Structure formats: C-alpha cells, structure tokens
Amino acid sequence: MKRKMTTGLAALLILLAGAFVAFAGNGMGPGTGVCPNATATAIGTCPNGDCAGPILSCSGVIETITGTVESYGIPGGGLIVVTDTSTETLYGIGPIWYWERNGMDRPEIGEAVTIQAETVTIGSVTKKVIISITINGQTLVLRDSATCLPLWRGQRW
C-alpha cells in the first residue's frame, strides 16, 4: 500500500512539473505573437502559418505623452497618465526587476513623466503600450519600437 502511494505521488509530481514546463514561456517560441518571416505591422495572420497565438500588430506611429501619473494597477501592468488635454491609459510598464536591473525606480503617483507610446492591436483589442518612459531626465526603454515586444521577455535574470 505504501509503495503504491509513493509511486502515485511521484507520478503526480512528474505530471505537474511537466505542465509547468509546457506552459512556461521564454518569449522566444510560438505564441509570442510575432511571425518570424513577417513584419511587425502585418495584420491578421502569419503569411506562412509559422506562428501560434494572436498576431501583434503595431501602428507604426509613436506618440509622445507628457503628464503626471494618476494611478497604477490597471490590468496589463500599466498606468494612467493625466495630460493637459486628456487622461491616457497606458499598458506594459514592465516588471519591477527590469526597472531595478536598469537602475531606475518606477514613477510615483503625481510624478511627471514623458512617455513614448504606440498603439498595438492584439487580436481584436487595441491598446497603447509604453515604448519608453522618461522620469527626471532618465529614460528607460521598455519595448522594441519595431515589434512592440517587451525587452524583458525571454531574459533570465
């Protein structure tokens, strides 16, 4: 009885470990949303059918947004910035460790920021993602401006 229970537990642990490995993305394989043989601005599907997941489509137009940080915590790891004329919801501020590795602190609520953002379409959803952010004269680049993919993706820190 004890042997069966031990064998069953070992099998369960192997199954769980396999599931974690299968679902862990390193940002380099299928599902990244980028077609290896297409430009980042290609909309719709991969021309050769050589990728999986939703296709990432960048607008190709980077806009500058200057204002103050109103809040954090929106889904997608973003923030809300109030400008002189509007309130902008921006996504993709990146993980804290990426900021730390680049020697910068995330902006505080009420702090002035200048953001380079690009409109991105993933599937049928359109959002503005942060390409780079400048705080007190320091700039942190968060995404590749050609593909809109996060620079922290696939890194092993």
Res. 42: pLDDT tops 80:
no
Average pLDDT of span 1-13: 57
Chain centroid to Cα 49, Å, comes to 23
Phi-psi category of residue 136: left, alpha or beta, with phi > 0 → left and psi -120 to 50 → alpha: left
Res. 56: pLDDT tops 80:
no
pLDDT at 149: 86
Q: Does domain 28-141 have CATH number 2.40.10?
A: no
Pair of tokens at residue 2: 């004890």
Concatenating the DSSP letter of every residue in 104-139 gives: -PPPPTT-EEEEEEEEEEETTEEEEEEEEEEETTEE
Q: Lowest mean pLDDT: which of 24-33, 86-95, 112-121, 130-139? A: 24-33
Q: Which residue shows structure tokens 């790891």?
A: 77
Cα–Cα distance measured from residue 42 to residue 150, given in angstroms and rounded to the nearest whole number: 18
Pair of tokens at residue 35: 């077609």
Instruction: Give tens-digit pLDDT for 11-36.
Output: 554 544 444 433 333 333 333 444 44
Instruction: Give tens-digit pLDDT for 75-94.
Output: 667 899 999 999 999 999 99
